[in-house]
Amino acid sequence: MDWIFTQTQQVFAALSRLLTTPFFDIGNKQYSISSLIALGVLALLVFLAARSISEWIKRGLLVRLKVDRGSREAIASVISYLLTAIGLLILLQQAGINLSSIAVFAGVLGIGFGFGLQNLASNFISGLTLLVEQPIKVGDFIEVDNLLGTVENISIRSTIVRTIDGVCVIVPNIRFVENNIVNWSYRDPKCCIHIPVGVAYGTDPILVTEALSSAARMEPNVLSNPSPKVWFKGFGDSSLNFELLAWIDQPHESEPIKSALNFRIDHEFRHRGIEIPFPHRDLHIRNAEALAALFNKSGATDINNAKVHESEVKPLEQQKPTPKSPNNWTLRDLLRRVTYFEQCSDLELRQLIEYGYRQLFPAKQVVCQENDPGESFYIILSGSVEVFSQRLEKYIATLHEGEFFGEMSLLMGAPRSATVRTLSDTILFVVDRNDLQKVLVDHQELADHIAQKLSERQQVLRDLGLLTEAALEQTPLVWIRNRIQTLFGI
């Protein structure tokens, strides 16, 4: 037993001598294996402490300060690198290493690394540039070198980008400095997507405008402001080329939104009978007479076999055309039935269709509710509505084709003063708040009529407190005209 104990002591003594024996000197300080291990452990602790402090700042302090995700990541990364550098410098000084004594060595080593590791140095400097200038941030949706995705992490050497397919791509930082970067999330995430569409020659451009605008407005991910636009791009070999412009605020969802819009456009085209043509070519036959003679020799058609019994065919005067429902009319035809728009040209109506859209309400459905904020202006294209006050339990009016409502809330900046409910199946032309100015500028007669109608509702305006003493000194019509001019510059 004593022999085993003695041997163990000898082993530990030899191991201790091995660990504590100085192997090299730096300056006036000698270093052994044990001191190097202790230095490495302390350096690891410095790194972990810096990482923990930066994570606490990112997830705690910066979140409470409501800093956006990209800025939080950049600030936390810079703090982590600074704390690590400061901690290592303090550690080296406490270990007795004279930093000035290794400055020359570090300089020579740096030159060697600079020539041998140019790309690594470039990525390092580029990473610092990205973290400080923040042209891109974590969470941004970007495009670089045909790579489309969301920035997941920015480190000193590289940036991780998650593509729309869910694949993480590691991109060297130098590519973000040397190449042109499209940052869809920079400052304002709103962006415009373009949907090219070709239709057959002979198709009514106004009908195409209505179909494309309707498809865009039905898609919930498309913004109403700015409103969708339709461009006539040109005349193709086999089609009239149009382009739908729709604004979204989720650029990372642009591809799914484009797919949804394409489905809706296909539905609208089928519903309206709009044809998307196939490419075609004209064939010219030089010897048409010889070809016709060849076909004539092949035989004649028996006309008697193609006769139809007279009893199966109604006389022309007995064939009455089936009346077309207003639901199947084009928006252009419905707008032409309204007094303010009946003299408009097709080009003016096309512009008007871009400002508003058609919406069908079944009978007994509430269009707008009393005390709700007003966001839209309505013109009745067919059907009728009733206006009543739920608060006063009072019937106000019945409005029919060609009349409008919803203007008071928009122009006066007040909640809805009454509830509007359809009496029958009703088609409304809806103009959102942001597009009403454009409609009133182009159609002065409608603006004048709105002012006239509002002036007839003085008591309602007084009850809402919208007619001030200064306003009462003027005639209501003059005051309302001035109000419209102030709001819309008309």
Q: For residue range 395-433, what is the model confidence (pLDDT) as tens digits?
A: 888 999 888 888 777 766 778 888 999 999 999 999 887
Half-sphere exposure at residue 476, Cβ-oriented, CA atoms within 13 angstroms: 15
| Token pair recorded at residue 91 | 């550690």
Structure-token pair, residue 111: 């030159």
Q: Which of 5-19, 118-132, 218-232, 401-415 has the lowest mean pLDDT?
A: 5-19
Location of structure tokens 């086999």: 238
- 202-251: pLDDT as tens digits: 999 999 999 999 999 889 999 988 889 999 999 988 899 999 999 998 88
The pLDDT value recorded for residue 420 is 92
Residue 193 is predicted with a pLDDT of 92
- Give the residue among 176, 181, 180 at the shortest CA–CA distance from 156: 176
Return the pLDDT at 317.
46
Q: In which band, very low, low, confident or very high, does the pLDDT at 119 lie, cut at 50, 70 and 90? A: low
For residues 305-315, give the mean pLDDT.
Answer: 47
* 325 or 362, greater pLDDT: 362
Q: For the segment 455-486, what is each residue's pLDDT rounded down to a tens digit?
A: 666 555 555 554 555 544 555 555 555 655 65
% of residues, the chain, pLDDT over 90: 16
Whole-prediction pTM: 0.61
Every domain range in the chain assigned CATH 3.30.70.100: 191-272
DSSP 8-state code for residue 310: G
Residues of the chain with CATH 2.60.120.10: 331-488
Please answer whether residues 27 and 98 qualify as being in contact, where contact means their C-beta atoms are separated by less than 8 angstroms: yes
Query: What pLDDT does residue 211 have?
Result: 92
Q: Which CATH superfamily is domain 331-488 in?
A: Jelly Rolls (2.60.120.10)
CB 213 within 8 A of CB 265: no
**CA Rg value for the chain:** 38
394 pLDDT above the threshold of 60: yes
String of DSSP letters for 25-39: EETTEEE-HHHHHHH
**Is domain 18-116 in CATH 1.10.287, yes or no?**
yes
Query: Which residue spans of the chain are classified as CATH 1.10.287?
Result: 18-116
Cα 478 from Cα 452, distance rounded (Å): 9
Domain with CATH 2.30.30.60 in the chain: 135-183
Distance, in Å, from the CA atom of 135 to the CA atom of 187, rounded to the nearest integer, reads 10
135-183: CATH topology: SH3 type barrels. (2.30.30)
Residue count (the chain): 490
Residue 155: the pLDDT is 79
Quick one: fold of 191-272?
Answer: Alpha-Beta Plaits (3.30.70)
One-letter amino acid at 358 equals R
pLDDT of residue 112: 54
- CA-nearest of 224, 227, 218 to 358 is 218
How confident is the prediction for the chain on average, in pLDDT?
A: 76
* pLDDT tens digit sequence for 73-108: 767 777 787 888 788 777 777 766 666 655 555 555
Given CA atoms 87, 90, 93, 98 in this order, what sign does their dihedral have?
positive
Q: Of 277, 225, 222, which Cα lies nearest the Cα of 244?
A: 222
pLDDT at 176 over 70: yes
| 3-class DSSP assignment, residue 260 | helix
- What is residue 195's predicted lDDT score, i.e. its pLDDT? 94
